[in-house]
Amino acid sequence: MSTINTPTMDRRSIPDRRVTARTHGRPAMSALDYIAMVLLIIGGLNWGMVGLFDIDMVGVLFAPGSTLTRVVYVLVGLAALYSVVTMAKMVGSKRS
């Protein structure tokens, strides 16, 4: 009769290797981070269209100089400022 060798380590004692999406108790990206990213992509694509084809898509969609066009531009600018502050915090936290 043969015997089965039991494993040397109990499976429950092996540390859990799952990667969590949280660092330092915070989620990796908040809803505000995603909104800022979407606004920056819109702004970047718009400036790309202006540079390549001289077409202001935000102005075309909402009428040049309209209030809604200006609101979109202000939101894109605020998203850029938010991203600069977020990046500065990230760089500062990695140094400590």
pLDDT in tens, 3-32: 676 666 555 655 555 555 555 555 688 999
Query: Does residue 82 sit within a domain?
Result: yes
Instruction: Say what the pTM is.
Output: 0.68
Query: Does residue 21 sit within a domain?
Result: no
Task: Give how far the C-alpha of residue 58 lies from the chain's centroid of Cα atoms, to the nearest Å.
Answer: 22
Range of the domain at 55: 29-95
Query: Which helix (H) or strand (E) is 41 found in, with range?
Result: helix 31-53
Q: What are phi and psi of 27, to 5 degrees?
A: -65, 155
- Domains identified in the chain, total number: 1
Q: Where are the beta strands (DSSP E) in 1-96?
A: 22-23, 26-27
pLDDT score for 75: 97
Query: Does residue 42 sit within a domain?
Result: yes
